Structure 1
Amino acid sequence: MGEPLQVEVWSDVQCPWCWIGRRRLQEAVAATGEEIELVYRSFELAPDVPVDYDGTSVDFLADRKGMPRDQVRAMMARVTEIAAGDGLEYHLETARQTNTVLAHELLHLARERGVQEHLKERLFGAYFTENRHVGDVEELVSLAVESGLDAAEARAALADHRYLPAVRADVAQARAYGINGVPFTVVDGALGVSGAQSADVFAAALRQARAARAGATSVTAS
């Protein structure tokens, strides 16, 4: 089949659609038999939120979006239902809102050590299913160890912020691409898929990218 296709996904670990999108992309990869090199890029949905946000996730969304709390709860219930259809367990009303920049820094370390996908999955589960504090250093170190990273190295990286420039570079690249919401998937640097599209849409993008490598005309998925 040739060299693996590069698939870059801009996402945030507090984005409910991002975990759904991950599952659908995985389904597409399985359906097509395509080999991919998956890279998770950083995108902060709420970079101004404090690590220890004083309020519930309902409070956060209601205040941020100016929506009535009942409407926020209804929206959460709908996303939870959709996630369940993709085999994911969400507890959105009790999720711990926080700043995710440290989680993104840790994901860059995980990429260098070859365990980024493991950590990304673990962070999603920790936040949405277990409602753990994914902005807290010790929680992050614990999750890093579960994902195959060394505790001392993870703690040191979070302390000196050695991966913060890489996080900022990802955010700048998203801005250059015109990305203003996540998940956003870029296949082989050419095909963009916005949102948690169906597995069929992701599969089409993978096939188009492979055809483009073979010299066929490239068509952008949307």
Structure 2
Amino acid sequence: MDKTLIIDYYTDILCVWAWIAQKRIDELNKTLGNKIELKCYYVDIFGDVPTKINTQWQSKGGFIGFAEHIQQSASAFEYAHINPKVWTEVRPSTSANAHLMLKAVEITYDKKKSIEMALKFRTAFFVDGLDIGNLNVLYNLVTANGLDRNTVNTSIGDGSAMASLMGDYQKSKEQNIKGSPSYVIGDGRQTLYGNVGYRVILANIEALLENPTAEASWC
């Protein structure tokens, strides 16, 4: 039996490019089926939103300038709707609370449920304009999707969810992750990040699937 190709997939829940990339992920799973295994991790891009905006966007309009940039970035992708309140009125302070909640769901339920909730969180922010940096909003989303708040909270209370999240952040540093989303393919032989087109991602994966023992791929 052919070996499944492992893809380490890093995102920040507040990253618009990760929101846009969701359709590409769905297509990869549909096209390649059991030939690949996507392992989802979180990277700290929006851990401290106020500092990020004040340092990187201060001369470009601050939150309003960043909001305009987000709208423009998503405008080319009709499936990636962005609520006009995103970053103009709704300004999460951090992505870390959402990441923590998702790691808690992963521990107390399973990885599949956590991945499903990640999409729920992203939809709540980008489409519904909810502040997913707020713990109360996150708990409401968890319960609205049929999960038990107290069950999820056990791994937050005992520190295991935080430990798992810190593990993700540390792993992202070890793999020299530069942005969100990032795809680390074939034990680090290929690393792609940012707004990478579906065909480019697919070509890299297929090259490694066809040459699983090669030291390097031509693409």
User: Which TM class, normalised by the smaller chain length?
Assistant: 0.7 to 0.9
Identity %: 18
Is 1:61–1:67's contact at 8 Å kept on the other side of the alignment?
A: no
With over 3 angstroms needed to count, the CA separation of the structure-2 counterparts of 1:5 and 1:159, relative to structure 1, is: same
**4+ residue segments displaced more than 4 Å:** none
What amino acid is aligned across from residue 21 of structure 2 in structure 1? G
With over 3 angstroms needed to count, the CA separation of the structure-2 counterparts of 1:151 and 1:76, relative to structure 1, is: same
What amino acid is aligned across from residue 183 of structure 2 in structure 1? T
1:17-39 CA-partner distances (Å, limit 9, x unpaired): 11112222322333444543222
Deviation at 1:178, TM superposition (A): 1.7
Of residues 7-16 and 184-193 in structure 1, the stretch that sits farther from structure 2 once superposed is: 184-193
- 3-state SS of 1:124 partner: helix
Deviation at 1:217, TM superposition (A): 5.0
Which residue does the alignment assign to 2:176? Answer: 178
- 3-state SS of 1:192 partner: strand
Which residue does the alignment assign to 1:56? Answer: none
Is 1:185–1:193's contact at 8 Å kept on the other side of the alignment?
A: yes
Which residue does the alignment assign to 2:6? Answer: 6
User: Structure 2: any 5+ residue segments left out of the alignment?
Assistant: none
Which residue does the alignment assign to 1:29? Answer: 29
Task: Tell me how far apart the structure 2 counterparts of residues 157 and 33 of structure 1 sit (CA, whole Å).
Answer: 32
Is 1:8–1:185's contact at 8 Å kept on the other side of the alignment?
A: yes
Which residue does the alignment assign to 1:207? Answer: 206
User: Structure 1: any 5+ residue segments left out of the alignment?
Assistant: 54-58
What amino acid is aligned across from residue 206 of structure 2 in structure 1? R
Map 1:1-222 → 2, pairs under 5 A: 2-33=2-33, 35-49=35-49, 61=53, 64-69=56-61, 71-84=65-78, 87-91=79-83, 92=86, 93-112=88-107, 113=110, 114-190=112-188, 191-213=190-212, 215-216=213-214, 218-219=216-217
Deviation at 1:128, TM superposition (A): 0.9
Is 2:16–2:70's contact at 8 Å kept on the other side of the alignment?
A: no
How many residue pairs align between the two structures? 210
Question: TM-score normalised to the size of structure 1?
Answer: 0.80
- 3-state SS of 1:163 partner: helix
CA RMSD of aligned residues (A): 2.7
Of residues 29-38 and 126-135 in structure 1, the stretch that sits farther from structure 2 once superposed is: 29-38
Deviation at 1:201, TM superposition (A): 1.2
